[in-house]
Amino acid sequence: MKLLQLSPSSLRKHLAGQGVWLRTGPFSLRIQSRLPRVAEGLIELYGQFEVRDSNLAFADFHVEINSPSMLRRWFRPQVNFSFDGDLPFKPLPLDQAYPMLEWGLNWSISMHAHQYLIIHAGVVEKNGLAAILPAPPGSGKSTLTAGLVLSGWRLLSDELTLIDRKTGLIQPLPRPVSLKNESIPLIRDFSPDAFINRASHDTAKGTVAHMRPPKESVRRQHEPARPGWVIFPKWSADSSTTLTPRSKAQTFMFLAQNAFNYSQLGADGFRVGTRLIEQAECYDFQYSQLDQAVAAFDRLANAAPAAKAA
């Protein structure tokens, strides 16, 4: 059963009570929250994901998003993310309750899911090949990810690229795409059909909102993809659209230093990471116009050997 098949009042009741069991990509969650913003976010953004009776199903992660105390619901209201009773973060203002769920889930996965090499990168797929987009904050990675998935690319993941250690394939986790500051109006203009939820303000990253993942991407969330490219995007005003080949060795070193759990995997992290780089073409990518960026990616996808063979 999908989440959108629950009535909003039923969802709110379960969420505030025993919790809602929800599957997203390879992970099952049991989410408990008494906060209306969290219910709203789930209803708006997770409609296509599977739900089950939380008293009957095994959940990978048990999380709660609630106010620290009755008092803090009303006076400078705050919200806590709890991971099975632990509080890994300091409280945030109540306005950030929904993003806190997303950040908390990212943390839960990257701290525990060592069956994957987990790279801090967006990843999208077309014609059977995945493009991994690592980028430091502010480089426009999520804007580009959003633009691509609104233009026919499949969303595999926005924040966490999961490389299956056993198969070397990329495991989809098509959760909502986070957009910041100017990206929000930019994507609204780019695609008026895209659903972007209510923004949270004054976060550590500025103004943050989330875009609903495309229905088709969620439908195909259990289909892994082969890595095709590792592309470092950089948005800069007035830049032309350029794709420049990049040293594979240096790209690997970047991944080793920036992956969430590279060092936890020991020699296997090295094996999986180098195998990934071996298979993928590595580029730097500069752009200023989103539609031109999408066109450049489309050209890449159409030129790829896999596409030709298919």
Partner 1 sequence: MSPIGKTIPGDLVSRVFRNPYAVSSFSLMDWDKLVRQARRSGLLARLRTVLVQHRQLDVVPAEARWHFDAAATLADKQQIAVRWEIGKIAEALSDLTFPLIVLKGGAYVVAGLPSATGRLFNDIDILVPRELLGPVEAALMLAGWHPGGLSDYDQRYYRRWMHEIPPMQHVKRATVIDVHHAILPDTARYHPDSVKLRSRAVPIDDTKKVHVLAPEDMVLHSATHLFHDGELPHGLRDLTDIDLLFRHFATIPGFWNRLQARAEELDLSRPLFHALRYVQHFLDTPIPEDFAHAMAHASPNRTTQSLLDAVFLRALAPDHISCADAYTPLARKAAFIRAHWLRMPPHLLFPHLFHKAFFQARYDEQTT
Partner 2 sequence: MARFQIKCFEHEAVVFDTASGDTHYLTPLAHALYMTSRDQPGKNLSEMTTALALSFEVEPDMHFGQLIDHAMASLQQIGLLETP
The footprint of partner 1 (CB under 8 A) covers 28, 55-60, 62, 84-85, 90, 112-115, 263-266, 268
Torsion of CA 172, 173, 176, 182, to 10 degrees: -70
Q: Round to whole Å and give the CA distance between 199 and 306.
A: 39
Evaluate the CA torsion angle 70, 73, 79, 84 in order and state its sign.
positive
Q: Round to whole Å and give the CA distance between 32 and 214.
A: 25
For partner 1, the closer of residues 33 and 183 by Cβ is 33
Query: Which stretch in 72-80, 87-95, 136-144, 247-255 sits in contact with partner 2 by CB under 8 A?
Result: 247-255
Q: Round to whole Å and give the CA distance between 104 and 83.
A: 8
Specify whether the CB–CB gap between 288 and 233 falls below 8 A.
Answer: no
Per CB under 8 A, 267 contacts partner 2: yes
Provide the minimum distance between the beta carbon of 245 and partner 2 in the complex, in angstroms, as a whole number.
11
Dig out the tokens for 238 from the structure. Answer: 């007035």
Per CB under 8 A, 85 contacts partner 2: no
Interacting partner of 1 out of partner 1, partner 2, none (Cβ under 5 to 8 A depending on kind): none
Interacting partner of 62 out of partner 1, partner 2, none (Cβ under 5 to 8 A depending on kind): partner 1
The binder of partner 2 chosen from 50, 115, 270, 279 (CB under 8 A): 270
Interacting partner of 270 out of partner 2, partner 1, none (Cβ under 5 to 8 A depending on kind): partner 2
Interacting partner of 55 out of partner 1, partner 2, none (Cβ under 5 to 8 A depending on kind): partner 1
Provide the minimum distance between the beta carbon of 261 and partner 1 in the complex, in angstroms, as a whole number.
9
Distance of CA 113 to the CA centre of its chain: 15
Per CB under 8 A, 107 contacts partner 2: no
Provide the minimum distance between the beta carbon of 267 and partner 2 in the complex, in angstroms, as a whole number.
5
Buried b (16+ CB within 10 A) or exposed e, 202-237: ebeeeebbbbbbbeebbebbeebbebbbbbbbbbee
The binder of partner 2 chosen from 16, 57, 111, 256 (CB under 8 A): 256
Per CB under 8 A, 109 contacts partner 2: no
Per CB under 8 A, 241 contacts partner 2: no
Specify whether the CB–CB gap between 35 and 66 falls below 8 A.
Answer: yes
Dig out the tokens for 242 from the structure. Answer: 């350029």
For partner 2, the closer of residues 5 and 263 by Cβ is 263
For partner 2, the closer of residues 28 and 279 by Cβ is 279
Specify whether the CB–CB gap between 136 and 205 falls below 8 A.
Answer: no
127: CB partners within 8 A, 6+ apart = 301, 302, 304, 306, 307, 310
**What is the identity of the amino acid at 291?**
D
For partner 2, the closer of residues 38 and 265 by Cβ is 265
Total site size for partner 2, rule CB under 8 A: 16
Q: Contact residues for partner 2 (CB under 8 A)?
A: 247-250, 252-253, 256, 262-263, 266-267, 270-271, 274, 277-278
